[in-house]
Chains A and B, each alone.
Chain A
Amino acid sequence: MIGLRHKLTKGDFVLDVDADIPDAGITGIFGESGSGKTMLLRCIAGLERGANKGGLPVHKRNIGYVFQQPTLFPHLDVRGNIEFGAKRATSHRIDSTQVIDMLDLGNFLDRNPDTLSGGEAQRVAIAAALLRSPDLVLMDEPLASLDSARKDELLPYFDRLHDELSVPVVYVSHDIEEIGRLCDHLVLLENGKVTASGDLFDVLSRVDVPLLAGRNAGVVLWASAVEAEDGLTRFHFADGDIWVPGVFETDAVPLRLRIAASDVSLCRERPSQTTILNVLRVTVDAIQRVDDAISLVRLDAGNQVVLARVTNRSVARLELKSGDRVFAQVKSVTVRH
């Protein structure tokens, strides 16, 4: 475990974090803008002067930092940028050819940083941070400065990073889909305080955290593709199946599916004439009022949990209570490729 214990006051804002994160995999730090995510990362790195009185100087902390805006050193070519950290590394646990291959940087090495696109520059910045052979890599919304096309281009590299490297990563984002796709562990930050921390799948299936009650509500789960038909792929899910548009490799490793709570609706009886393909038999586990209009319903679907975002009026009309057996209609599912 890595202990994150940081306190810092800046004007009216107080950051007070006390959390433990695993020393492997990617830990997501999720919060709205202004919740103190970046400040927390800067404290961990030693970049906040106020929080680092008498502490270890930044360059001795052996921490890799990937900034939101990729600022490369303009006087060095890509190779020089990548090797900057490696030259100063105290150990060389991470192999440079592996990192260069993983991030597809082989063709860029002799280029000047100002000839790179934003996504390419960010890949170089990530490689530089990794080749410092850090004990921990901090990433501050590394995709936020990119448009969505560039983002989609860069995301697979993060998947590879996750699958191929053992260095622990703290990944800050305000995009719950990014977090759901990449992270294993999740820390929720609200107004400088940690409101929840734990395994990603567990935290996302909670209904009692206000931060995850709105449009961010939704679960992430593992499922294996079984067969493809009519341009759809059938995933084995809980007690039944789930159909997802697109063709995915079957019998491969389980993939991550994300089901947003707003894409799940509930019926007392099995709907027959519906365009929705996925209807699951579920048991109501808990109902949590979010506000005057909306409730979050936690559903037990065999060995998996699904959340549904429904109106209070519907809860009353269907007389929903925990223990009820109902049908959940799942309108859409996103799959991590």
Chain B
Amino acid sequence: MNIFGPLWLSIQLALATTVILLLVGTPIAWWLSQTSSRWKPVAQTIVAMPLVLPPTVLGFYLLILLGPDGAIGSWWVQLTGSALTFSFAGLVIASCIYSMPFAIQPMQNAFEALPRQTLERAWTLGASRLDAFFSVVAPLSVRGFVGGMVLSFAHTLGEFGVVLMVGGNIPGETRVISIAIYDHVETLNYAAAHKMSLLLLAFAFVVLFGMYAFNRRWDSR
């Protein structure tokens, strides 16, 4: 029984999700932190939904949406010729939605903690909005970025329900570590389940510990 196959797949999935959420989530988090639009509560609600929805509900809707007859799925089939459901690409999309609040909320909090005047000073000193974001906002929001990335990575790694609904259990394609553990328990192969669980436990501990240790050093600079 290969332990590292499912783990490696999980890590690939988590990395892809984290990178996509960093790219897509940053502008959303920035907009949420700056806007006074009446649509803000609506957007915030949508972003936070995955926190409260059971993964089965989210997975069910995603299954329909990503399926060959769904809005996104049919478009994907036309584009690539293969289905999104029960594929790694489908898992990435599902994970991005499922882990979105974990990426956006820490970034949004960091952006909101930035004094408005710091931003205005950067503008009056000749920085365009984009320039000010990269030269002032980003370096002062490192904590938010690190927090968002670590949390979305770890959360994707531990994801189970949505993956099972959307991805199923295809070795090398959608059989991530949490599914593999479930599988082993179902077949009463406790030894393998133990090994994988312990691996995930250690990994989660190291990642979270790393983040908090980083925050501590960052604060005491």
The answer on a CB contact under 8 Å between A88 and B126 is yes
- Beta-carbon contacts under 8 Å, B112-156 to A: 115, 117-118, 120-129, 131-132, 135-136, 139-140
Cα A64 to Cα B125 with chains together (Å): 7
- Beta-carbon contacts under 8 Å, A69-86 to B: 69, 71, 73-75, 84-85
Cα A269 to Cα B122 with chains together (Å): 62
Q: Which residue on A lies nearest to B118, using beta carbons?
A: A71
The answer on a CB contact under 8 Å between B123 and A67 is no
Cα A89 to Cα B126 with chains together (Å): 7
The answer on a CB contact under 8 Å between B124 and A64 is yes
Contact A58-B123, Cβ < 8 Å, known A73-B136, A75-B139, A88-B131: yes
Residues of B within 8 A of A84 (CB): 122, 125, 127, 135
Residues of A within 8 A of B115 (CB): 71
- Beta-carbon contacts under 8 Å, A44-85 to B: 45, 47, 57-59, 62-65, 67, 69, 71, 73-75, 84-85
A129 at interface by CB-CB < 8 Å: yes
The answer on a CB contact under 8 Å between B124 and A45 is yes
A206 at interface by CB-CB < 8 Å: no
Residues of A within 8 A of B118 (CB): 71, 73
Q: Which residue on B lies nearest to A58, using beta carbons?
A: B123
The answer on a CB contact under 8 Å between A69 and B127 is no
The residue that A128 contacts in the complex, of B120, B123, B125, B136, with Cβ under 8 A, is B125
A234 at interface by CB-CB < 8 Å: no
Q: How large is the interface on B (under 10, 10 to 19, 20 to 34, 35 or more residues)?
A: 10 to 19
Residues of B within 8 A of A58 (CB): 120, 123-124
Q: In angstroms, how far is the closest chain B Cβ from the Cβ of A69?
A: 7
Overall SS of chain B's interface: helix
Q: Which residue on B lies nearest to A131, using beta carbons?
A: B125
**Could you mark each residue 220-239 of chain A with 1 if its beta carbon is under 8 Å from any beta carbon of chain B, else 0?**
00000000000000000000
Q: Which residue on A lies nearest to B136, using beta carbons?
A: A73
The answer on a CB contact under 8 Å between B124 and A129 is yes
A132 at interface by CB-CB < 8 Å: yes
Contact A57-B126, Cβ < 8 Å, known A67-B117, A71-B121, A73-B118: no
Cα A142 to Cα B121 with chains together (Å): 14
Interface centre among A58, A73, A85 (most CB of B within 10 A): A58
- Beta-carbon contacts under 8 Å, A13-66 to B: 45, 47, 57-59, 62-65
Given A62-B126, A63-B124, A89-B126, 17 extra CB contacts under 8 A: A47-B124, A57-B123, A57-B128, A59-B127, A59-B131, A65-B121, A71-B115, A71-B117, A71-B118, A73-B121, A73-B136, A75-B140, A84-B122, A84-B125, A85-B126, A88-B126, A132-B124
13 A-B contacts (beta carbon < 8 Å): A45-B124, A57-B129, A59-B128, A59-B132, A67-B120, A71-B117, A73-B140, A74-B140, A84-B122, A84-B127, A88-B125, A128-B125, A132-B126
| 5 closest residue pairs by CB, A with B | A88-B126, A85-B125, A65-B124, A58-B123, A75-B139
